[in-house]
Amino acid sequence: PAPALPPPISLYSLVPKLMSCNSLFVDGMNVLFIVADDLRPALGCYGDSLVKSPNIDQLASRSVVFQNAYAQQAVCAPSRVSFLTGRRPDTTRLYDFHSYWRVHAGNYSTIPQYFKENGYTTMSVGKVFHPGISSNHSDDYPYSWSMPPFHPSAEKYENSKTCKGKDGELHANLVCPVDVAEVPLGTLPDIQSTEEARRLLNIMKTKNRKFFLAVGYHKPHIPLRYPQEFLKLYPLENITLAPDPRVPEELPAVAYNPWMDIRQREDVQALNVSFPYGPIPEDFQRQIRQSYFAAVSYLDTQVGRLLNALDDVGLSNNTIVMFTADHGWSLGEHGEWAKYSNFDVATRVPLMFYVPGKTSSFARPGERVFPYLDPFTHVSGSVAAGKAKKMVELVSLFSTLAELAGLWVPPVCPEPSFHVEEDYDTDYDHDYDIEGDHEEPIAFSQYPRPADTPQWDSDKPELKDIKIMGYSMRTVDYRYTVWVGFNPSNFSANLQDVHAGELYMVGSDPNEDHNIYNSSLHGNLVRKFLRFLRR
């Protein structure tokens, strides 16, 4: 069988400690669930001094901000199915994009489904579930949603030739600042999603309905396509390379992702970058980083307009707001781009919860909680209301949101659960110890590979082609990853078949550049971790 990874840590239990109150949940609260795509914590509220994100920073200043939150797999569909069901990829059996968990793994309920069953009107706008078979070509409607999910009409042009090149022609580029007035439909998907979410908030206010509204933004997912004026925030001369732009000598070949989706963009193809390691020319590396940061600031304006709508309709005092991302994104660290790895830059995400009257005081009559802040003029100075530094996981969102909203948190479901009509997996509130003498919070991630060396499908192998699984755990002191044999026909990992390992002591090596797995000084830790996985 796959390793019996432990149940998620409760985030709920951390929040009242920070806020010094005995009870956090507020019965009857609405929920605004905001998820960005491919967003690492490149935000002012996470200490990034370059990125301009005043609206998300303002949300953070009224929230509990989790400094060390991690996705369970750094690719869209597996991560989203994992955190929306509260289950790890080894349980959902989704490591790629090509199966629907209710058919292939178990009839696992989702966060919005549970809120729907508890009297909420549940709505999906934009990219919440990953589209396609992994959500039954329906975003799991009608199980999860009270009405058909909304997808912006401009979404179909995201990968079209809409990027004006130096030759004056239109291309399907990676770096793609655009004049919004000139693109098809004269708008962009995230702008449309914000408009639809604002419309739904007005309807919910008018009808006085308790709601769970999920809004999924596309940016900063590639292509890095955003209104061109955001480039002004990031002059190219201010953009540096990653602090560690070269492939580490001690990095096992199996751990490297060759960023194939980046290579398929026309502007990258023109560079004739060698496979698998590149590198991309330094001047273009700076352009990628510049456009990623610009896309984050564009995202921030959409989040700002959405939150401002809560004030407009008078719902800021009775709506819980959660903000996160499905995973991070490498910006040249370790010579890698995109996600598809177990490194912090790919697995660590922003995560914050705003709970009216608890993480921030209730707004007085006429007072705005979330006034819109223009990133072109606003001077940032927000400080988060509360910061939690423990290692936490997105798989904990189900139980956390249920408890914050005052809902009963369901028990662990039976095993197997194919024939259970409704079941939930919310066993939580545990810390884990591999040293044997103290409790220690741990975040787990994993990533599949088709071979020991980089292949054309190393980033996104189909289930049938997975030969190796990299199980990774992150503690406050280190990241340990073991790459073991994997049998896709029965979803089993062979912990005796170790292909490679990684060990980074993040206190002295915060960028995870120096792999000391083969050091005899740490052999005892390695053996303990393998025993931990076998439990």
Phi then psi dihedrals of residue 444, to 5 deg: -110, 140
H or E element in which residue 392 lies:
strand 386-393
Cis peptide before 16 (omega within 30 of 0): no
Catalytic residue at 176? no
Q: Which of 45, 130, 151, 221 is catalytic?
A: 130
Catalytic residue at 76? yes
* 124 contacts 216 by C-beta, under 8 angstroms: yes
Q: What dihedral do alpha carbons 263, 165, 160, 197 form, nearest 10°?
A: 100
SS3 244: coil
* 381 contacts 58 by C-beta, under 8 angstroms: no
* 474 contacts 442 by C-beta, under 8 angstroms: yes
Nearest to 320 by CA among 408, 216, 406: 406
Q: Which of 21, 45, 76, 221 is catalytic?
A: 76
Phi then psi dihedrals of residue 134, to 5 deg: -65, -15
- Dist. CA 385–CA 142, nearest whole Å: 37
Which are the contacts of 273, defined by CB distance < 8 A and separation ≥ 6?
263, 279, 280
C-alpha separations of 216 from 111, 128, 192, 421 in Å? 15, 5, 11, 28
SS3 499: strand
The residue type at 227: P
The burial class, CB within 10 Å (0-12 / 13-18 / 19+), for 314 is: exposed
What 3 state SS string does 81-92 have? Answer: HHHHHCCCHHHH
- Dist. CA 339–CA 459, nearest whole Å: 8
The residue type at 140: D
Which are the contacts of 489, defined by CB distance < 8 A and separation ≥ 6?
none
SS3 324: strand
- Dist. CA 303–CA 534, nearest whole Å: 43
Phi then psi dihedrals of residue 171, to 5 deg: -135, 165
- Dist. CA 372–CA 378, nearest whole Å: 10
Please give the angle made by the CA atoms of 409, 2 and 494, to the nearest 5 degrees: 165
Instruction: Say which residue the tokens 């109150």 belong to.
Output: 21
Nearest to 153 by CA among 196, 182, 212: 196
* 112 contacts 405 by C-beta, under 8 angstroms: no
- Dist. CA 283–CA 459, nearest whole Å: 25
C-alpha separations of 348 from 72, 108, 238, 305 in Å? 10, 25, 25, 25
**Catalytic sites, residue numbers:** 76, 130
